Amino acid sequence: MRDTYQQLGLAHCLSEVATSPNCGDALGVFRDRYGSWLALAGWLNFIPVLLGILVGAPLVARELEHGTQRLVWTQSVTRGRWLVVTLALVLGGCLVVAVALSLVLTWWLGPWDALNGRFGDAAFDFEAPVLGSYVAFAIVIGMAAGALLRRTVAAMVVTLAGFLAARLPVEFHFRAAYLPPLTRTFDFASPASRSAAGLSRADWVISEPIVDHAGHQVADQQVYRTCLSSFGATKDTFFHCVEAHGWLGSEVYQPAARYWTFQGIETAIFVALAVALLGLAAYWVRARLT
């Protein structure tokens, strides 16, 4: 990806925002070639939950299934200490894997992120802090499920379901709202006005509503009904119509500068979930299991 990025001169394109006529083509080539690779890389999002299923779920459940907890919990160390040390070893190993994966992917994705911003696509999810927190959460949910259910297979199923039940809503619903998004408006018809509004590729654009001068959103249907009503409306007449009604284009976005804040917030969410589940698992192992 880095080689192609250089060959196509895309760095040059970025620095002089689209002044060279070749840049549009070059961007197209680059996106075509690597878009599908990126979709493939998306599957790597399952690595944390796989670790949770394969490593976390059997941690306590397999002892209980094989009856070996009667051996290991009757040695001189208390079972609370056994749990902490076992978890620390397993979690340590898995975090090393996570960080290594993160470094490789972040390096590989570098050029793509330069074009599309790090908030987008794969970049955010593979950054070391959040990836580490996903792994910790997945391992602990597996361990807790194994302690409560006492069955490895059942614990594996619960791990998958529980992980997705937390991970998907956070990514697709809550992440965009960690901090109130900013809004900027621009003249709908003029590209110059659009670039003057200071749009950056690195920002995370959440939505692009049409607004009136007071900043209230105008429903798309209303815009289309008003300005596309007559047959033969051209792009120009459409823009003029929009302008005549005093409507503006806008972008609701999270600025690129908030990237690490957002990483911190998401990491904190999953670490907190992991700690809560660890507390539950520790209580269960110490007080309830036999």
Partner 1 sequence: MDTRDRAALEAAQLRRRYGRRWALRDCSFTLPAGRVAALVGPNGAGKTTLLHLAVGLLAPSGGNVRVFGDAPRERPRSVLPRIGFVAQDHPLYRGMTVEEHVILGRKLNPRWDGDLAARRLRRLGIPPEQRAGSLSGGQQAQVALALALAKRPELVLLDEPLASLDPLARREFLRALTLAVEEQGLTVVLSSHIVGDLERVCNYLIILSASQVRIAGEIADLLPEHAVFSGPSDGVAALDATHAVIDTMEGGPRTELLARGRGPAPAGWKSRPATLEEIVLAYLSQPEAARDALVEAGAQATSV
- Which one among 17, 39, 72, 268 touches partner 1, defined by CB under 8 A? 72
The residue behind tokens 């399952």 is 46
Is residue 190 near partner 1 by the rule CB under 8 A? no
Q: Which two tokens stand for residue 66?
A: 């094989």
Whichever of 68 and 261 has its CB closer to partner 1, that residue is 68
The C-alpha atoms of residue 151 and residue 242 are separated, in whole angstroms, by 63
Is residue 78 near partner 1 by the rule CB under 8 A? yes
Q: Give me the least distance between CB of 160 and partner 1, in Å please.
A: 25
Q: Give me the least distance between CB of 147 and partner 1, in Å please.
A: 15
Q: Which two tokens stand for residue 253?
A: 């976005």
User: Under 8 Å CB-to-CB from 277, ≥6 apart: which residues?
Assistant: 137, 140, 141, 143, 144
Whichever of 214 and 287 has its CB closer to partner 1, that residue is 287
Residue type at 205 in one-letter notation = V
Is residue 213 near partner 1 by the rule CB under 8 A? no
The C-alpha atoms of residue 16 and residue 56 are separated, in whole angstroms, by 49
Q: Which stretch binds partner 1 (CB under 8 A): 19-27, 78-86, 195-203, 249-257?
A: 78-86
Whichever of 15 and 75 has its CB closer to partner 1, that residue is 75
Q: Which two tokens stand for residue 116?
A: 């599309």
Residue 193's CB: how many other CB atoms inside 10 A?
14
Is residue 214 near partner 1 by the rule CB under 8 A? no
Count the residues of the shown chain that bind partner 1, applying the rule CB under 8 A. 17
Query: CA-based angle 179:257:125, to the nearest 5?
Result: 75
What binding mask, one character per residue, do residues 249-288 give for partner 1 by CB under 8 A, x or -? --------------------------------------x-
- Interacting positions 79-98 with partner 1 (CB under 8 A): 79, 82
Q: Give me the least distance between CB of 73 and partner 1, in Å please.
A: 6
Helix (H) or strand (E) holding 186, with range, is strand 182-186
User: Under 8 Å CB-to-CB from 81, ≥6 apart: which residues?
Assistant: none
- To 10 degrees, the CA torsion angle through 219, 222, 224, 226? -150
- Which one among 76, 221, 230, 234 touches partner 1, defined by CB under 8 A? 76
Kindly list the residues in this chain that would bind partner 1 in the complex (CB under 8 A). Answer: 66-79, 82, 287, 290
